[in-house]
Amino acid sequence: MSSERLIYLPLGGAGEIGMNAYVYGYGPVDAERLILVDLGVTFSDMDGSPGVDLIFPDVSWLHENKDRLDAVFITHGHEDHIGAIGHYWEKLGVPVYARAFTANLARHKMADRGQPEEAVRTVSAWPEMTEAGPFRVGFLPISHSIPESAGLVIDSPAGRVIHSGDFKLDETPVVGEPFDPDLWADVSKGGVKALICDSTNVFSDHPGRSEASVGPEIEALVSAAPNMVVATTFASNVARVKTLAEAGERAGRSICLMGRAMRRMIEAAITTGVLQNFPKVISPEDAASVPRENLMLLVTGSQGERRAASAQLARGKYNGITLKEGDLFLFSSKTIPGNERGVIRIINQFSEMGVDVVDDSTGKYHVSGHANRPDLKRLHDIVNPHMVIPNHGEHRHLREHAKLAADAGRASIVAVNGTMLDLSGSAPSIAGFVETGRTYLDGAVQIGALDGIVRDRIRMALNGHVVVTVILDEDDEPLGEAWCELKGLPEMGRSDAPLLDVLEEDLTQFLGRAKAKTLSDDDKLEGELRRIARNTCRDEIGKKPEVTVIVSRLS
C-alpha cells in the first residue's frame, strides 16, 4: 500500500481565472485511477486570441490517460466550470456527475454538441456519495452566485479531501441553500487532509456581503424610477434576477426577460425546482404595449457583449423596445477586467440617448460571489485541513492565499496548471509536471494556442499583409513584372507615389538583375522577394508588413 499515492493535478484554473479543470488520482505511481473536477472554458480577446470563439484547457494528458479516468464531477454551472463539457466529452467518455440544476445545464451543453445527454447523471447533495474508482465523492452545498453550487468531499484510501469549488459564505443567499457552517464542520470533524480552495478574492480584505443585502437597495432604486427600468446581471445569477424581478413587481411593473441566456437560466432553475415564486413574466411582444413606467426589462449583456440584449438596446432597438430620455439602466454586476471598453461603450451610448445609467461603483447594487480574505480564513478554520492548496486564481492570488494559509500554520503550496502534487504525506510535495496549455475553438476547428495560426493573425493585424506574385517561364525567366496586393496597409508612402507602384518597381528591378541560381531556387527567390518587400515598406511607410510570396512556374 505504501507505493500508492493521492495526487492533485490542475489542468486549468490554477494560474488564471477561468477554464477550471482539476484532476485527482489515487493508486500506484503513474497508474493512479483518476477523476476530473470541472471542465470549463475561458473567453478570447482581441489582444491575445483574435477570432477565437472559446478557449479550453489542453486535456491531452487526460486524453492519453483516458483508460485511467473514472468520472467527471461538476461543482456548478458557470461557463468556466462547465463550458467545455460538450466539446470534450467524446475524448473522455466517462459519466459526468452533477446536482440537478447543474446537470440540466450540462445536458444542454451536451445536446448543443450532439453528445449523449444521458452521460450526465444527476446526483443529490451530501450525504449521498458517488463511487468512482477508489474515490467516493459527495456534493456539499455551498453558496455562490449561481444556484446549487457545491464543494466536493473526495474520500480515498489516503483520506478525505475537500474541493471548495467557487464559493462565498452567504447565510442568506435569496435562492438556494444558505452556507451551513455546522454541516461543513461536521463533515470535516474526522480530519481533512487537504482543502483545495477558491482564491479569486483573496485580495479583498472585508468580509463578503450577502446576496440579501442588495435587495432593499435595488427596490429603492426601482420604486423611485419614473420611466422604464432595464437591469442587467449575469443570467446565471438566478438569485439576483429574482431580486430584480421582485423589486420590479413590487413597484407595479411587468417583468420581461430578454436574451436567450436569461430565459434559459430561469427556465432551468424553475424546472429543477431551485427557483420558486418567480414573478410572472410577459413576452417581449407584450412588453412593447405596456406603458414604459410600468415595465421592467431584465436583460443579458452585463459585460458589454456586442450581441447581447444590453448592447443591442444601446445601439437602438431590441425586440421592438427602444430606450428613451429618462429611462433607467442598471448594471447589477461588476465588470470583469478586460471587458471595460465594451461596458463603457454601452454606457456612453445610453448617455447619448439620455438614459440614466447606474452601475456598481457605489457597491449598493452588486455583491461578489466569491469568498473574500476573511471568509477564506473562516473556511480554513471550519474545515481545519492539514494543508490548503489554493486553486482558481492567477499566480498572485494563489501565492497570497498560500501565504494566508501558511500564516495560520497550515502546509500550503502554489501549484499552477500542470503541477502534479502528491498529497499523501503531511505536506504537499511536487510529484512532477505535465505539459498543459490552451486549445482554441476557432470556428468549427480546435487549434493549439501555439500552432502559430493566431500568431499570424496578430501579426497581420499589427503589420498588414503584402502578397507578392511572380511568374517564371520554363527557362526560369520572369514572365512580366512582379505584382503585389496590399491588405491593411496605406496606399501612399513617403515618396508620394502609391506604395503598390514603388513595391512593384523595386521587386521587378530585382527580378531583372537576379542571377539564374536565385531564379531557379524557390526558397532563395521567395526569401529575396520578401526581404525587398519588407525593406521597401519600411522605407516608404515605416513598418515591415507580413509578406506572402507566390512564385508560379510554367513548366
Binding site for a copy of itself (CB under 8 A): 15, 45-47, 50-51, 203, 337-338, 340-341, 344, 347-348, 350-352, 354, 357, 361, 394-396, 399, 442-445, 447, 451, 453-454, 456-458, 460-465, 467, 469, 471, 479-480, 483, 485, 487-490, 492-494, 540-543, 546, 548, 550, 552, 554
**Nearer residue to a copy of itself within complex by CB, 32 or 546:** 546
**Nearer residue to a copy of itself within complex by CB, 250 or 395:** 395
Shortest spacing between CB 427 and a copy of itself, in angstroms: 19
Shortest spacing between CB 372 and a copy of itself, in angstroms: 13
- What is the residue-wise DSSP string for 118-179? GGEEE---TT-EEEETTEEEEEEE-B-SSTT-EEEEEEETTEEEEE--S-B--S--SSSPPP
Rounded CA-CA distance 174/247 in Å is 13
Q: Which of 124, 90, 96, 100 is nearest to 38 (CA)?
A: 96
3-state secondary structure of 26: strand
Rounded CA-CA distance 292/167 in Å is 38
Residue 242, C-alpha cell as written in the block: 429574482
Shortest spacing between CB 342 and a copy of itself, in angstroms: 9
Shortest spacing between CB 379 and a copy of itself, in angstroms: 22
At residue 442, φ and ψ (nearest 5 deg) are -120, 100
Rounded CA-CA distance 383/187 in Å is 8
Shortest spacing between CB 551 and a copy of itself, in angstroms: 10
Shortest spacing between CB 257 and a copy of itself, in angstroms: 26
**Nearer residue to a copy of itself within complex by CB, 31 or 220:** 220
Buried b (16+ CB within 10 A) or exposed e, 488-503: ebeeebeeeeebbebb
- What is the residue-wise DSSP string for 182-202? HHHHHHHTT--SEEEEE-TBT
Rounded CA-CA distance 346/335 in Å is 12
**Nearer residue to a copy of itself within complex by CB, 286 or 451:** 451
Which residues are CB-contacts of 182 (< 8 A; sequence separation ≥ 6)? none
Q: Which of 54, 142, 67, 128 is nearest to 97 (CA)?
A: 128
Rounded CA-CA distance 119/117 in Å is 5
**Nearer residue to a copy of itself within complex by CB, 125 or 453:** 453
**Nearer residue to a copy of itself within complex by CB, 172 or 351:** 351
**Nearer residue to a copy of itself within complex by CB, 270 or 462:** 462
**Nearer residue to a copy of itself within complex by CB, 37 or 357:** 357
Shortest spacing between CB 360 and a copy of itself, in angstroms: 12
Shortest spacing between CB 36 and a copy of itself, in angstroms: 25
Rounded CA-CA distance 230/330 in Å is 6
Q: Which of 155, 154, 172, 175 is nearest to 163 (CA)?
A: 154
Shortest spacing between CB 5 and a copy of itself, in angstroms: 27
**Nearer residue to a copy of itself within complex by CB, 24 or 350:** 350
